[in-house]
């Protein structure tokens, strides 16, 4: 028998699903079906106030230029991930009150109330009136924000990330704070804290015609081989980096987000042929900004790579923390480790190409 807390969360989750259904009946519902890592996902939007969150996932919908349809991902899949998305103020309906004391939660903007054990997982950010719930038993999730204007800025380029993180842990996957680029289906994972050069290096690789999976968040699986799966078609650059190193990208900017006013790009429009659903990972590299005249690479210790990958991932995505650290440590043990010593931005892709050739020869 569930205890009182668990039963209260189950009841609250069901009441939020009913709330979504009432909103959908009044405002209409649209659905987005696609696959991530071969697994089916359905997002159900009640009304249209949050439909813009589908934009970073547009590369997974029917091809807008060829009209080619992807296979229906929910056929023969009785338990897809379903995300029920609804706003608050735009519906004119009062959402159910949560069974925890909201006023007891810090109002600091970066603070959230999390519950990540049991059947119902919770991430609540009261300062943003933002709530995510996930039912581990049914693979259903609720995504709610009271006022669209309060939507956390990071959700624009990487929506549903906490939900994807909970879901991935259920089939042995792990969301990581990392970039992934490569050629011919083989790629490198680029790791490190924010500001270490991951996004800039990924953008340089796109300019060099390389394949792209991620510049910030990626889904990793290890069976049968270490693989990076694409979540989003979005990329971000600081404005000063954009102006100094990627002037041709200025016409690609969709919007600016966050306190640093980062430029957001949706690459399915500007370079759709370079987006890849997945890359087989042949090594992990940690970018380091240097004063070199050109970019190069050297071997690195496993501990250096894990320090670049583990803390930034679990800090941003603490879901199932112990599982995450164990997964990432295993991945680092399995793959070659390198430090990417960055010189001028335009030389980064040359160093990565050289490293990919090195790995191909080593594996031959």
**Domain definitions of the chain by residue range:** 4-152, 174-363
Strand pairing category for 81-87 and 140-145: parallel
Residue 114: CB atoms within 10 Å: 15
Question: What is the DSSP secondary structure assignment for residue 27, as one 8-state letter?
Answer: H
The CATH number of 174-363 is 3.40.50.300
Q: Is 170 exposed, middle or buried (0-12, 13-18, 19+ CB in 10 A)?
A: middle
**For the residues of 276-340, what is the DSSP string, one character each?**
-SEEEEEEEEEEEE---SS-EEEE--HHHHHHHHHHHHHHH--TTHHHHHHHHHHHHHHS-EEEE
Q: Is 20 helix (H, G, I), strand (E, B) or coil?
A: helix
pLDDT at 103: 57
What is the mean pLDDT of each successive set of 10 residues along the chain, which is 364 residues long? 73 96 93 94 94 89 45 57 88 83 54 78 89 95 91 92 93 94 96 88 96 96 94 94 93 87 90 94 95 95 93 75 83 96 95 95 84
Nearest CA to 188 among 177, 197, 178, 180? 180
- 250 SS3 class: helix
d(CA 122, CA 118): 10
Q: Residue 18 contacts by C-beta under 8 Å, 6 or more apart in sequence?
A: none
């Amino acid at each position: 028998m569930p205890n009182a807390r668990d039963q209260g969360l189950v009841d609250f989750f069901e009441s939020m699903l009913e709330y979504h259904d009432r909103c959908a009946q009044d405002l209409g519902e649209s659905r987005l079906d696609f696959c991530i890592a071969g697994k089916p996902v359905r997002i159900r939007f009640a009304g249209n106030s949050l439909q813009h969150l589908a934009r970073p996932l547009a590369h997974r919908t029917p091809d807008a230029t060829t009209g080619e349809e992807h296979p229906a991902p929910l056929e023969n899949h009785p338990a897809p991930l379903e995300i029920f998305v609804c706003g608050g103020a735009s519906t004119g309906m009062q959402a159910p009150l949560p069974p925890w004391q909201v006023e007891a939660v810090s109002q600091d903007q970066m603070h959230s109330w999390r519950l990540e054990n049991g059947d119902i997982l919770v991430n609540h950010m009261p300062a943003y009136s933002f709530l995510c719930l996930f039912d581990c038993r049914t693979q259903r999730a609720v995504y709610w924000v009271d006022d669209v204007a309060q939507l956390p800025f990071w959700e624009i380029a990487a929506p549903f990330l906490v939900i994807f993180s909970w879901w991935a842990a259920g089939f042995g996957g792990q969301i990581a704070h990392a970039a992934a680029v490569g050629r011919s289906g083989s790629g490198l994972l680029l790791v490190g804290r924010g500001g270490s050069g991951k996004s800039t290096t990924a953008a340089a690789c796109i300019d060099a015609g390389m394949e792209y999976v991620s510049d910030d968040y990626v889904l990793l699986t290890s069976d049968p081989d270490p693989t990076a799966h694409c979540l989003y078609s979005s990329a971000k650059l600081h404005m000063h980096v954009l102006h100094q190193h990627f002037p041709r990208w200025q016409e690609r900017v969709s919007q600016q987000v966050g306190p640093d006013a980062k430029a957001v790009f949706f690459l399915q429009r500007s370079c759709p042929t370079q987006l890849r659903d997945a890359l087989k990972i042949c090594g992990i590299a940690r970018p380091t900004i240097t004063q070199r005249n050109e970019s190069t690479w050297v071997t690195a210790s496993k501990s250096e790579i894990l320090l670049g990958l583990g803390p930034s991932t679990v800090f941003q995505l603490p879901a199932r923390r112990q599982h995450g650290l164990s997964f990432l440590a295993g991945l680092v043990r399995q793959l070659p480790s390198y430090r990417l010593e960055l010189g001028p931005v335009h030389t980064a892709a040359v160093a990565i190409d050289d490293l990919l050739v090195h790995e191909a020869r080593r594996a031959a």
